[in-house]
Amino acid sequence: MTNIMLSGKTVLVTGAAGFIGANLIKRLLSDVPDAKIVGLDNLNDYYDVRIKEYRLEELNRNENFVFIKGSIADKELVNSVFESYRPSVAVNLAAQAGVRYSITDPESCIESNIVGFFNILEACRNYPVEHLVYASSSSVYGSNPKVPYSTDDKADAPVSLYAATKKSDELMAHAYSKLYNIPSTGLRFFTVYGPAGRPDMAYFGFTNKLVNGETIRIFNYGRCKRDFTYIDDIVEGIFRVMQGAPEKKDGEDGLPVPPYAIYNIGNNHPENLLDFVRILSEELVRAGVLPENYDFEAHKELVPMQPGDVPVTFADTDALERDHGFKPCTSLRDGLRKFAEWYREFYM
């Protein structure tokens, strides 16, 4: 592994106004104060743009942060950003998220996740970087019955277009690592949550519905399990991975061995959805988002599995711990408590 010094460098983060992107930039500005951070985001309205603007507002107060509004699917823009700023490290977190959304709007998924990522790879080829780190997803495992999911497992049977695009990103990155010796690391994130998160995620959507007195639908009759991973754990994982790039070396044939790696970042502790809803409801009451006498049972409906969903996600994080000395550890209750407190302050 090659040690990458971030101090004094320029780092590009795409998806800068997104949940993970904004939190990563916040961490970089805090821990590497002499680095220049260039953020790129198209600020699309897939979910409430006010939350994206809220995240950006804090980042824009720092003079070492430069924000550029635009899409990674715009090849000319991507090339001009790389030409102008010559980033040493690129972190691609821009994507059209949403397993279910990829079924209703497949074009936007392909445009961002395939065309956009191709543009990033091409830019890394033409303006070489020390390390490309990019977001993949636990969804690539499909309905793999073996748990916990290991990066050594086969992941070639996606059950959604979103998952297929993320697996495609990994394959394209491998090809570019092999062809052009670009050190790249893909990160398979497992159900990320926390304050100022994505409103399309279950914990956020459930909260909005409960506040409005609506019924929440719990899929697979509550039998699903998810490896919920708190945002600070995700950011810690990315931050460490950025500083340890796969080593460039030649194989026995004299050709480069692809400097390529894949890691899971998950909590390594799947939670039953019914337990998750119970803890969320308790923390919403504790934070004063909901009244103490709220009747949760009257607002719960157990329904069948949705297309594209999987029954369980469960991360094997041994490789991340071995190579980067980190294992996510935030408990679901602690994480949901921080979310509930933020929700009260932001919306109430």
Any idea which residues carry the catalytic annotation? 162
Q: Are the C-beta atoms of 75 and 117 separated by less than 8 Å?
A: no
Q: Which DSSP symbol is given to 306?
A: P
Please work out, in degrees rounded to the nearest 5, the angle formed at the alpha carbon of residue 232 by the alpha carbons of 229 and 238: 90
Report how far residue 321's alpha carbon sits from residue 337's, in angstroms, rounded to the nearest whole number: 26
Q: Which DSSP symbol is given to 100?
A: T
Report how far residue 190's alpha carbon sits from residue 237's, in angstroms, rounded to the nearest whole number: 12
Q: Is 25 helix (H, G, I), strand (E, B) or coil?
A: helix
Within the chain, strands assigned E span 2-3, 10-14, 36-41, 65-69, 89-92, 131-137, 184-189, 192-193, 216-218, 225-226, 229-230, 244-245, 249-250, 256-257, 260-265, 271-272, 300-302
State the sign of the Cα–Cα–Cα–Cα dihedral 16, 247, 168, 127: positive
Please work out, in degrees rounded to the nearest 5, the angle formed at the alpha carbon of residue 342 by the alpha carbons of 136 and 284: 100
Residue 231 CA: distances (Å) to CA of 31, 226, 266, 298: 17, 15, 10, 31
Through-space distance between the first and last CA atoms of the chain, rounded to whole angstroms: 47
Give the distance from CA 195 to its chain's centroid: 14
